[in-house]
Amino acid sequence: MQRRKVRSVRRTAPSALRIRTSAATASLLAAMLVVPSATPAHAAEFVDPHTPAGVRPNGGSSHATLVFSDEFHGTSLDSSKWSSVDSKRRDGQYFDSWWKPSNVKVSPNPDSVNGGNLWISLSKLSDTEYATGEIEGRGKFEFTYGTVEWRAEMPPNNDLFGALWLMPPGGVNSVDGTARDGGEYDVIESTSASDSYGNTIHYDGYGADHQVSSVSVDAPGLHSGYHTYTVEWRPDRIIYRYDSTIVRDITDPKLISQVPMFPVVSSESAEWAAGSIYDAALDYRSNMYVDYIRVWQ
């Protein structure tokens, strides 16, 4: 198991096709980075002091050491752990979407586990433009193998959905017929109005060679309150849990990344998600909330 801290790589704007990737230049730069070795001191700096001592993932895990956490306590995003993305997300037939740092906030919340939440809001930029937000650990916290758990409340389905995912810093542009050299791991995309969500792996780029492995997960109570989403990533297995229950278990070697990845949290607007953005409230009712994220190795 290894974890690494690297210098930041600038993220390029996503294309109009539903793509989460860096340009080839960013991929090349990522490959050229000199990565310092992880040490216990480095591990300590990534653990939020508000995280309860000895806390373990819901449903258990083979990983026992907490190496990263953010309880989103206080009033501002921790820039040592996260970057807030500022880019156009996609062009649509009826409206265009953006990610804006101004839509990402940290705020006290007495109903959260540790007194704070990440808030990602919806805003209207013009009659045909809407903005949400995304934070990512690219260049700040990247790891190989571990268990990640988010506690989050998804936004309402007004062309909105919440996404919790992992990405490799070099993107998924290499084509070898597998995700072993890096894949986009969408732990959840809450695009459906029913109590179900998509769990998807994208690999071999986003063009002609693009491959995908996806399932629909039954998620009782998905659209009411907070739930935990956990992924246990091992060299030979990936186990996904919803509120501690196993919902997907992958043992196919070609679907299991063997390269470092970083965590991502995003709220997104898209015309193919359930509902209509024109019915969305432009206030707290359209927010995505994240109570915490924790990573064990």
| pLDDT tens-digit map of 118-139 | 999 999 999 999 999 999 999 9
User: What gap in Å lies between CA 93 and CA 286, rounded to an integer?
Assistant: 22
Provide the number of structural domains found in the chain. 1
The set of residues, in sequence order, having a beta carbon less than 8 Å from that of 248 and lying 6+ positions away, is 199, 215, 217, 238, 239, 240
The set of residues, in sequence order, having a beta carbon less than 8 Å from that of 34 and lying 6+ positions away, is none
**pLDDT tens digits for range 66-92:** 999 999 998 999 999 999 999 998 888
Residue 82 tokens read as 């996260």
Range of the domain at 215: 2-296
Residue 42 has pLDDT above 80, yes or no: no
The three-state secondary structure class of 151 is strand
How many other CB atoms sit within 10 Å of the CB of residue 58?
17
User: What gap in Å lies between CA 99 and CA 268, rounded to an integer?
Assistant: 8
pLDDT, mean over the chain: 87
Q: What is the pLDDT of residue 240?
A: 98
Assign residue 263 the CATH number of its domain: 2.60.120.200
